[in-house]
Amino acid sequence: MGHGYRARLREALDSGTEAPSATDRLANRIVMETLRLHQSERLDREVMEDIEVDGFTIPKALAAGRSVAGEPS
């Protein structure tokens, strides 16, 4: 995303001349475009019972997460 949008949003917020709804729409469009370009997807799970994997014990109730962004399917 170019710096033009950041400057435009900053100017709108600082000046107070644009209607709040117009500023909100611009901010929303910037956020949605950022999320589209830079997704952060994560799988979170909770271990339901103690398990052993390759000699390591994973305790019950451990929160486990894994980022899947950018990985091949």
Q: Which residues pair with 67 in a beta bridge?
A: 42
At 12, the amino acid letter reads A
Which has more pLDDT, 39 or 36? 36
pTM summary value? 0.38
Helix axes 20-37, 3-15, angle to 10 degrees: 150
Residue 69, pLDDT above cutoff 70: no
In the numeric block, the tokens 């949008």 are attached to 5
Give residue 68's pLDDT: 61
Taking the C-alpha atoms of residue 11 and residue 71, their distance in angstroms, rounded to an integer, is 38
